[in-house]
Amino acid sequence: MAATVMLFARKAGLFDNLPNDSTPASLVDHLTDRLLFRRLETDDRETLIAFAAQGRALDDPLPARQLPLTAAGVAALMLASPYFQWQ
């Protein structure tokens, strides 16, 4: 599934303007703006940030090599969420 989401994400331009020094929070906020067009509830945002951090400090930049796969995973969770379904 991650490969399918990765392909969709690249074709849809979800990675456009995503800085290489993105933190988990900035990644979640970027994808929220691109996919959901509205704010997430605080608890839901924090859950996605923790997923994106994958055990790292929340304010540390994500490794550039891992950024596309992490972004694809977060995008997949957003697309499967009620936030996307309620559009």
**8-20 pLDDT per residue, tens:** 667 767 777 777 7
Mean pLDDT for the stretch of residues 74-79: 91
pLDDT at 58 over 70: yes
Domain count, the chain: 1
pTM of the model: 0.84
State which amino acid sits at residue 4: T
Q: Using CA atoms, how far apart are residues 42 and 9, in angstroms rounded to an integer?
A: 24
For residue 41, what are the domain limits? 2-85
What pLDDT is recorded for position 61? 94
At 62 the pLDDT is 93
| Pairwise CA distance, residues 38 & 3, whole Å | 26
Instruction: Pick the most confident of 14-23, 46-55, 77-86.
Output: 46-55
